[in-house]
């Protein structure tokens, strides 16, 4: 990646990033077309490759940028003093919704990479795969689980919330990607429901 990308105006950077996020999130690596990305971004293919060399370079950059951006948003959104398990889960998902205000497809893209089956793409992000999960674990490992029913498997509860979050995210961007509050309203209902079931 050409570091001069960051010398571009922020608006142009974000147009390119958002275009790549959208195309990769909707199509996966194999079916993501750089023609579609440049069309969405309103730039030339030559300019895209000037900064990212090739599609795999762009994919790797987008993943790293997304993981770090979401982590930063979580740092400013999550209140560690409110460490109830379900409250923390909701705060983490609130940070996802906040991310969507600037980058509507960023969280959806991150979820899509979990299902990626192109070896080249998997290898390109392999050393970055723990950035976001590690940050999430920083919060959830110290969660107060008093509100979780005794005998419940916390790791399965984590998975249940993540699977639901991904499904809600897919539904949200399919209907209206410009309304992150729709995602937050829906995922909040599920988290509240899980809290009630654990009473």
Helices 180-197 + 154-176 axis angle, to 10: 150
**What's the pLDDT at 26?**
93
d(CA 13, CA 11): 6
Q: Which of 85, 103, 101 is nearest to 152 (CA)?
A: 85
Whether residue 47 has pLDDT greater than 90? yes
Overall average pLDDT of the 57-67 stretch: 97
Whether residue 89 has pLDDT greater than 80? yes
**What's the pLDDT at 164?**
96
Whether residue 176 has pLDDT greater than 70? no
Question: Mean pLDDT, the chain, as a whole number?
Answer: 93
**What's the pLDDT at 178?**
66
Q: How many domains, the chain? A: 1
Domain that holds residue 92: 3-197
Overall average pLDDT of the 89-94 stretch: 97
Helix boundaries (H) for 53-153: 55-77, 85-102, 106-113, 119-125, 131-140
Overall average pLDDT of the 58-64 stretch: 97
Q: What is the CATH number of the domain that holds 104?
A: 1.10.357.10
Dihedral sign for Cα atoms in the order 141, 186, 14, 26:
positive
pTM: predicted TM-score of the whole model, two decimal places:
0.93
**What's the pLDDT at 36?**
96
């Amino acid at each position: 990646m050409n570091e001069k990308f960051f010398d571009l105006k922020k608006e142009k950077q974000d147009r390119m990033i958002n275009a790549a996020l959208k195309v990769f999130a909707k199509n996966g690596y194999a079916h993501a077309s750089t023609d579609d990305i440049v069309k969405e971004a309103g730039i030339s293919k030559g300019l895209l490759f000037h900064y990212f060399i090739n599609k795999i370079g762009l994919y790797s950059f987008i993943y790293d940028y997304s993981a770090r951006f979401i982590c930063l948003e979580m740092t400013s959104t999550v209140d560690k003093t409110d460490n109830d398990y379900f409250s923390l889960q909701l705060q983490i998902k609130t940070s996802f919704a906040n991310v969507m205000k600037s980058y509507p497809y960023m969280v959806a893209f991150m979820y899509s990479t979990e299902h990626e089956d192109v070896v080249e793409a998997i290898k390109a992000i392999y050393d970055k795969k723990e950035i976001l999960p590690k940050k999430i674990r920083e919060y959830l490992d110290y969660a107060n689980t008093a509100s979780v029913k005794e005998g419940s498997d916390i790791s399965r509860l984590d998975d249940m919330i993540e699977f639901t979050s991904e499904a809600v995210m897919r539904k949200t961007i399919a209907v209206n990607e410009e309304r992150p509050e729709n995602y937050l309203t829906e995922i909040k209902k599920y988290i509240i429901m899980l809290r009630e079931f654990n009473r």
